[in-house]
């Protein structure tokens, strides 16, 4: 192999592997979906992923694909497209908010520094990805992870709207 081609190939791979990730990606749920067709069962996978920079930006993606790896990759891409900027007051949220999405209802309250995130599974993942270190949360409705993640994201959107209104 010529030396020029060798250098080009090594640069190509180096860029792929030395890439610094700016977002933390957390897989919340993977579902196996089976569909009856004339030729037999069609099996696909659905992935719910939360992406955040731990500095106030968070997004959620839900995607389907033929295998788990592609479903996760597509969900990460979808989450990065729909990011929400969350206002922070120190290490907590500035306001208490109660929000409903479908059958899920969530309550998020500010907490004193050092108390940590006191919230259930899916809500904890979203708050952590957003960079919120101290908050108290309660899932009041369904136990469906997808609905709870979307309800938490909707609550964070409401907080950002309240913050914009109060700053004006």
pLDDT band of 164, cuts 50, 70, 90? confident
Please state whether beta strands 40-52 and 83-85 pair in parallel, antiparallel, or not at all (unpaired): unpaired
Would 153 be classed as within a structural domain?
A: yes
Domain count, the chain: 2
Domain hosting 101: range is 87-167
The pLDDT of residue 166 is 83
Q: How far is CA 127 from the centre of its chain?
A: 9
Tell how far CA 27 is from the center of its chain.
8
Checking if the pLDDT of 136 tops 80, the result is: yes
Q: How many residues does the structure list for the chain?
A: 168
Residue where a domain stops, chosen among 34, 60, 83: 83
Which of 83, 105, 124 delimits the end of a domain?
A: 83
* Same domain assignment for residues 102 and 77: no
* Together in a domain, 99 and 126: yes
Which CATH number covers residue 95?
A: 3.30.230.10
Residue that is last in its domain, among 51, 83, 115: 83
pLDDT recorded at residue 24? 87
- Residue the block writes with tokens 């108390």: 115
Distance in angstroms (rounded) separating the CA atoms of residues 139 and 144: 10
Q: Which residue has the higher pLDDT, 17 or 147?
A: 147
Question: Residue 35's beta-bridge partner residues?
Answer: 42
User: What are the tens digits of pLDDT across the range 80-110?
Assistant: 999 999 999 889 999 899 999 999 999 999 9
Regarding whether 150 and 113 lie in a shared domain, the answer is yes
Whether residues 137 and 91 fall in one domain:
yes
């Amino acid at each position: 192999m010529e030396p020029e081609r060798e250098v080009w190939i090594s640069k190509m791979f180096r860029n792929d592997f030395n890439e610094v990730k700016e977002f933390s990606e957390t897989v919340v749920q993977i579902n196996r979906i089976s569909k009856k067709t004339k030729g037999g069962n069609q099996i696909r996978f659905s992935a719910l992923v939360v992406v955040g920079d731990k500095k106030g930006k968070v997004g959620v993606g839900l995607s389907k694909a033929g295998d788990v790896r592609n479903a996760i990759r597509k969900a990460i891409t979808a989450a990065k497209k729909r990011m929400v900027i969350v206002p922070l007051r120190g290490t907590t949220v500035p306001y208490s908010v109660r929000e409903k999405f479908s059958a899920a209802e969530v309550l998020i309250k500010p907490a004193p520094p050092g108390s940590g995130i006191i919230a259930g599974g899916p809500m904890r993942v979203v708050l952590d990805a957003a960079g919120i270190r101290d908050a108290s949360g309660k899932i009041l409705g369904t136990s469906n992870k997808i609905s709870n993640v979307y309800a938490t994201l909707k609550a964070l959107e409401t907080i950002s709207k309240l913050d914009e209104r109060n700053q004006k």
